[in-house]
Amino acid sequence: MLEMFKFFVSLIIICIGEVIEGKTNDDYETSIFCYGRLLHDVQVHELFKHPRDFLELRARRPPQVISSRYREIRPKLKLAGEDGRKALKDFIRRNFVNRSSCENVSPPDWFAKPHFQRDVQDPGTLDFLKFLNRKWAQSYYNVTQEALENMDLHATIKTRHSFYGSSRSLNYEESWWLYFGLMSSGMKISARQLIENLAGLVDEYGHVPPENRLYFLGRPSPPFLAIMLEAYLNETGDLELAGRLLPYAEIDFHYWVQSTMRKVISAFDIYLVVNQVENFLSKPRPERYLEDWKRKPKNSSLKSILNVASLIWDSDPPRGTLSVRLTAITEWAARVLARLSQNFGGPQRRQLYSMISWELLHTMDTLLYSRKKKQWMDYSSNYGHVNDVSLWPVYTGARPWKSHYQVPRCSSLEEYLLSAVVLQEAGQSEAAQDVAFRALSLAAQDANLSLKNSSVAITLLRMFPQVQVPNSGAITPPVHNSIRIIVIPMIIATMICLPFLFIKGQISN
C-alpha cells in the first residue's frame, strides 16, 4: 500500500512538472505594493485606516523612482514620533494619488426585470429580488484605459473581460457563488466571461490568484475553475468552451495541489491531506501586513515532548487544522477533471485524477470523520476533531445524505445555501425552505449586502420563489435629491424661527 501511494504521489509531481509551463511569479513581484521598506513602514505604522487603502492607490511615477527616493529619505525619518509619521504621509501624498483603476460599466446581458420574477408572487419578496438584481449593474467593472496604459503604477491585474466584484476586484472564491447567481439570473454571457477571465489569469500567471491584484500572485486558491467549467457545460452543452479551457483548469488544479497537498503517515494509515494556505506563507501579506508581522512562531519544544501527536504520527503531523471544506473541494475538482478527461484528456489523466479523488475520499472517511458525531469535522493533530460538523462532502456529491446527519450552524449565507441544497436534494423540502427563509431574512436586513451575498440570495430565491421575505431594511429607497432640496431648507428655517416665535409669544402674554 505504501509503495503504491509513493508511486502515485510521484506521478502527480511528474504531471505537475509537465503541465505547468506558465510564467514565474518572480517576474511580477517588482511592485512597491508587494514588498519593500515603504510598504513595511506604511502598514506597520498604520498610516491608513484600512490596510488595503494604501494598496488601492495609484503611483504618480514609476515604482523604481519612488523606491529610490524613499531610500534616500528613510534614514532621516523618525517614525516613532509624530513628525516622522507626518513626513511619511507627505511622501505618500506627493507620490501617490487616490484614483481608482476600475470604472463601473454596463453588463452585456443585464435586464432591469429579474429573470424569474413571474415565479415570485409576494410583492415584498419581488421588491427584494429587484433590489438584488440591481446589484449586478452596480458591481460590474472594467479596468480604465488610463490604468491599462500605466499598469506598473497600480496593483490591479487586467482581465480578458470586465468583471463582477464587491470591492472593484475579481475574487476567485466568490466567483463560484457569483456563477450560480448569474445563471439563476439568466445571464449566461456574463457567466461564460467569468470563467474565461479565470482561465485568462491561469494563461498569464500559471494559476488563479485569490484576487486580481499583484500582491495576491503566488498564493493558491481552491480550484473552482474546473468545477465551474463542468457546471457550465452541463447547463449549456458548450463542448467547445470545455475543451478549450480544460488545460487551464488542470494547470490551476495542479498549482493548488503542489502548494497545499501533503502526504502524512500515522502508525495506522497514510493520508493525502490539504493544508490551509496560511501554513505556507513565508512573508507578510500586504493586505494583512501588520497582522502577519506581529505573529511570532511559538516555542513548542516542551509541547513536542509531551504532545500525544508525536506518538501517533510517523511523519511530521499535519500542519494547523485540516479543513473538511478544502478537502471536499479539492476532491470534487479531481473528480470533475477525471470526468472531463474522459472526453477531452485521455485515460492517463483520468487515472491520475481518479486516484487523487480516491485518496482524498479515504482521508475524509477516516481522518476527518468523527465516529462520535458520525459526521465530518475539521481535524487538528493537537486536539483531534474540532469546530462544527460539515456537510461539504454531501454538497459536492462525494457522499450521499444519511438521515442521522446534522445541519451545522450557519455563519454565512453561502453556508445556508449549501445546507438548503443538500436538504432539497435529500427530499426534505420543508427543512430546505426553512433554511432558505432564515438566510433570506438575514440578507434582507443587511443594508450593505455584498455582491456575493446578493448572488447567494438570488440563487435561493430561484430555488424557493414561494418564500416570503420579511420587511427589508436593505431595500429602503433613498430620499430623492429634489426632496432633500425642499425639505432640508424648510427644517433649517423652522429651527431658526422657533425661538423668535417663542419670545414673541412671551411678550404678548
Q: What is the pLDDT of residue 310?
A: 41
How large is the average pLDDT for residues 120-138?
94
Q: Which element (helix H / strand E) includes 258?
A: helix 239-260
CA 478 to chain centre: 30
Residue 262: strand pairing partners: 273
Helix ranges restricted to H, 150-288: 172-184, 188-205, 224-236, 239-260
Contact, 102 vs 143, CB < 8 A?
Answer: yes
Residue 314 pLDDT greater than 80, yes or no: no
Higher pLDDT, 391 or 472: 391
Residue 472 banded pLDDT, cuts 50, 70, 90: low
Contact, 248 vs 358, CB < 8 A?
Answer: no
Which of 196-205, 233-242, 380-389 bottoms out in mean pLDDT, i.e. has the lowest?
Answer: 380-389
| Closest listed residue to residue 366, CA positions, set 379, 357, 353 | 379
Q: Which residue has the cell 432640508?
A: 488
Q: Which residue has the cell 408572487?
A: 121
Q: How many other C-beta atoms lie within 10 A of the C-beta of residue 411?
A: 9
Non-local (6+) Cβ contacts of 1 within 8 A are 270
* DSSP code at position 75: G
How large is the average pLDDT for residues 274-280?
76
Q: What is the pLDDT of residue 264?
A: 82
Q: How many whole angstroms separate alpha carbon 378 and alpha carbon 359?
A: 17
Q: What is the pLDDT of residue 301?
A: 35
Which of 32-46, 113-127, 131-145, 476-490 bottoms out in mean pLDDT, i.e. has the lowest?
Answer: 476-490
Residue 423 pLDDT greater than 80, yes or no: yes
Q: What is the pLDDT of residue 347?
A: 82
Q: What is the pLDDT of residue 502?
A: 47
Residue 265 pLDDT greater than 50, yes or no: yes
How large is the average pLDDT for residues 35-53?
91
Residue 79 pLDDT greater than 90, yes or no: no
Cell (9 digits) for 380: 487538528
Q: Which residue has the cell 438575514?
A: 442
How large is the average pLDDT for residues 316-334?
87
Q: How many whole angstroms separate alpha carbon 428 and alpha carbon 435?
A: 11
Residue 345 pLDDT greater than 70, yes or no: yes
Residue 388 banded pLDDT, cuts 50, 70, 90: very high
In terms of Cβ atoms closer than 10 Å to its own Cβ (0-12, 13-18, 19+), residue 459 is: buried
Which of 101-105, 131-135, 238-242, 264-268 bottoms out in mean pLDDT, i.e. has the lowest?
Answer: 264-268
Residues in the chain: 509
Contact, 79 vs 113, CB < 8 A?
Answer: no
Q: What is the pLDDT of residue 13?
A: 43
Over the chain, what is the mean pLDDT? 84
Against a cut of 0.95, is the pTM above it? no
Higher pLDDT, 474 or 106: 106
| pLDDT tens-place string over residues 443-455 | 999 888 999 999 9
Residue 487 banded pLDDT, cuts 50, 70, 90: very low
Q: What is the pLDDT of residue 296?
A: 56
Rounded to a whole number of angstroms, the CA Rg of the chain reads 27
| Closest listed residue to residue 447, CA positions, set 185, 141, 135, 179 | 135
Residue 24 banded pLDDT, cuts 50, 70, 90: very low
Residue 316 pLDDT greater than 70, yes or no: no
Q: How many whole angstroms separate alpha carbon 341 and alpha carbon 333?
A: 12
Contact, 457 vs 439, CB < 8 A?
Answer: yes
Packed helices 63-73 and 37-44: angle between N→C axes, nearest 10 degrees: 70
Residue 494 banded pLDDT, cuts 50, 70, 90: low
Q: Which element (helix H / strand E) includes 162?
A: none
- Where are the chain's structural domains? 31-99
Residue 164 pLDDT greater than 90, yes or no: yes
Angle at 101 between CA 95 and CA 105, to 5 degrees: 155
Q: What is the pLDDT of residue 383?
A: 86
Q: What is the pLDDT of residue 495?
A: 59
User: Considering the chain, what percentage of its residues have pLDDT values greater than 70?
Assistant: 81
User: Considering the chain, what percentage of its residues have pLDDT values greater than 90?
Assistant: 64
Q: What is the pLDDT of residue 35?
A: 86
Which range of 6-20, 277-291, 354-368 scores highest in mean pLDDT? It is 354-368
